[in-house]
Amino acid sequence: MNEKTKIYINPLTANNIKLLLLCNALGIQPEFQHVAINRGKQRQEAFLALNPDGKVPVLQQGDLVLTESNAIMQYLASSHQSSLWPQGIEQQAKVLRILFWQSNYFTAGVGPIAHRKVVLPYWGVGEPEVDKQQWQAFDKAVSALENILDGSSYLVGNELSIADISLLAFFLFHKRANMPLKDYPKLQNWLANLADHDWYISTESYLNEILTN
Ligand SMILES: N[C@@H](CCC(=O)N[C@@H](CS)C(=O)NCC(=O)O)C(=O)O
């Protein structure tokens, strides 16, 4: 990749954490430009020119401006010839299935937990209650993930892919948020395996440093 890669992110939120995890896993260091979404910077004219939706992440590389975290992951993994975007149409379709499922279904159940219990308090805007309905949605989403996991270490085939990273990002703060995961043994194994990798450990310590400053 010759042109400089810049990624606009807010490092604490799940769709953005995906890119921190991925870049560490790929061993690449794009320029990260932080966008303070807690202060409305995503709604300023300059940012809206990049993404009219007013959302991070956004990748910019030469003339290419790419929104949607999962598309950005596919682009980065693929352009670095990484097996995180696997070869073979069947494996690719299986990865895409997880990415769409995460975006259309999983996020609504799991995303709000760490956001309310970790991110919003850090931003100093209180700790809105996670109500019964939200916990039910959480349980439904993690049960569905437990059913997808077949006991192996990765979601698709025998190798790490962007499918794993897409879901893993939602669990990075699972301890801080006290996410109840004890009834989901396959999920716990999958998490423990991924949390052992250097790229996970360095992402986690980077985020811990932000949260403790
Ligand atoms: N489907 C999009 C969702 C992006 C998104 O919701 N970003 C949030 C942070 S995780 C955001 O920018 N929120 C600011 C806002 O909505 O004002 C993706 O995967 O990139």
| Four-CA torsion 179, 185, 191, 197, nearest 10 degrees | 140
- 65-90 pLDDT, tens digit each: 999 999 999 999 999 999 999 999 99
Number of domains composing the chain: 2
Domain hosting 205: range is 89-212
- In the prediction, which pLDDT does 150 show? 87
- Does 84 map to a domain? no
- Same domain for 71 and 173, yes or no, is no
Same domain, 72 and 19: yes
Instruction: Write out residues with Cβ below 6 Å of ligand 1.
Output: 10, 13-16, 37, 42, 54-57, 68-70, 103
Model confidence band, residue 170 (pLDDT cutoffs 50, 70, 90):
very high
Q: Are strands 5-9 and 31-34 parallel, antiparallel or unpaired?
A: parallel
104 and 200 fall within a common domain? yes
- Give the residue, by CA position, lying nearest to ligand 1 atom 15: 55
Q: Is the domain of 172 the same as that of 130?
A: yes
For residue 43, which atom of ligand 1 is closest to its CA?
Answer: 17
Asked whether the whole model's pTM tops 0.95, one would answer yes
Nearest 5°: the CA angle 152, 157, 161 is: 100
* Sign of the dihedral defined by the CA atoms of residues 190, 73, 21, 107, in that order: negative
Residue 97's CATH number = 1.20.1050.10
In a domain, 72, yes or no: yes
* Residue 180 within any structural domain of the chain: yes
Alpha-carbon distances of 22 from 72, 77, 212, rounded to whole Å: 10, 8, 23
Note the pLDDT tens digit of each residue in 2-53: 689 999 999 999 999 999 999 999 999 999 999 999 999 999 999 999 999 9
**Shared domain check, 150 and 60:** no
State the pLDDT at residue 2.
60
Distances (CA, A) of 205 to 1, 58, 174, 200, 202: 28, 23, 14, 9, 5
- pLDDT tops 60 at residue 1: no
